[in-house]
Structure 1
Amino acid sequence: MVMVHNIQRKLDWRSPILEYILENKLPMKKSEARAIMFKARNYCTIGSVLYRRALTEPLLRCLSPEEADKAILEVHTGICGEHLGGKSLALKIMRQGMYWPTIRKDCEGYVRKCQACQRHGNMSHRPTTELNSILAPCSFYQWGVDIVGPFPKSKGQCQYIVVAVNYATK
């Protein structure tokens, strides 16, 4: 627990940034101190509550891990929950004015574990590429030639195989 302006807080990702902004405290290691100073440029406080600044959005309230879990649960499955996908869920939470550094990863993980989403979600049955049929009017009309390898050297120092396929008869 850390005392920040007479408020007890558990140590989480917000603690070093809050300590730097409110009390100008930095870790002893130069690399860690530099990283915190770099991160702190994107944050501000109102009272003792940490907010993230953004160019085009309003201030986003920074949440603890416990608050983040509650926010995901409420937005995903709450009274107006839409069972959104991971990226959409993260964006909707940010539009509600909340933030934490691993928001997208946490939302995607939650959606993968949601039983209702797994049962009733859309399934894609399309192949990854469009299928093209090959028309060959007669045998030996069209050939496909490819080189396969390298393989371990065999007798005669050969490493590659030339493969030729007749499109009509395969």
Structure 2
Amino acid sequence: MWVVLLRALGSEEFKNSDKELSRRLRANLHRYTLEGGLLYYSPDPEDEPRVVVPHDEDLKYRILYEVHDTPVGGHLGREKTYDSVSTMYWWPKLYKWVGAYVRTCEACRRTKSSPHAVAPLASLPVPTGCWQPISMDFVFGLPKDKAGNTGIVVFVDRLSKMAHLAVVPDTINGEGTALLFLDRVAHYTYMLWLWVTSRR
């Protein structure tokens, strides 16, 4: 197609003949210009002409790489990448090329957030008493103590912000954590009120 178009643009005689030019190409011939050995395309007369990229996949991928993957490109999404490419270059189905390139970009796939809606953060209810709502968290990767423990479990009263800490191995499980809670926290903070009264 490009060879026919170049011949048509370079020769008045060929341009005026019906040889090898499809009706569609002849209708769009005014959008193409040949300048300095490069073929340019202008979608509208007011637009800046864009360099027509030949059917060379390596060249197209190189252009997309330069616009999308380099630090200047910044791994922008499909629309912004298309806007950047389409101001300088043009080839058939450019939008689809850009979409496929951005969609398969490994860096974008690893770092871009999911398009699905994320539930908003909900605040926790305000505590009504000490040690009734409790927060718990683990901290691992600490230097080993004499027993070989490398972690800490932290139990925090959400009302008073009082914290109880216990050293734990990095192999702690749910049962071990529950036993630690009963031994270190419930033992000191919860008072089980069991009143047995007898009236005589």
Same fold (TM over 0.5): yes
Identity %: 22
Runs of 5+ consecutive residues of structure 2 not aligned to the other structure:
119-200
How many residues align? The count is 112
One-letter identity of the residue aligned with 1:109: A
TM-score of the pair, normalised by structure 2: 0.50
Aligned match of 2:59? 67
1:48 is displaced (CA, Å) by 2.6
Cα distance in 1 for partners of 2:111, 2:46 equals 35
Cα distance in 1 for partners of 2:66, 2:23 equals 36
Change (3 A) 1:109 1:21: same
CA contact (8 A) 2:31 2:45 kept: no
Change (3 A) 1:79 1:126: closer
Cα distance in 1 for partners of 2:3, 2:80 equals 28
1:89-108 aligned within 5 A: 89-95=81-87, 97-108=88-99
One-letter identity of the residue aligned with 1:16: V
CA contact (8 A) 1:16 1:36 kept: no
Cα distance in 1 for partners of 2:2, 2:79 equals 23
Aligned match of 1:57? 47
Runs of 5+ consecutive residues of structure 1 not aligned to the other structure:
1-12, 128-170
Structure having the higher Rg: 2
Aligned match of 1:36? 25
- 1:124 is aligned, of 95, 106, 115, to 115
TM-score of the pair, normalised by structure 1: 0.57
Q: CA RMSD in A?
A: 2.3
One-letter identity of the residue aligned with 2:3: S
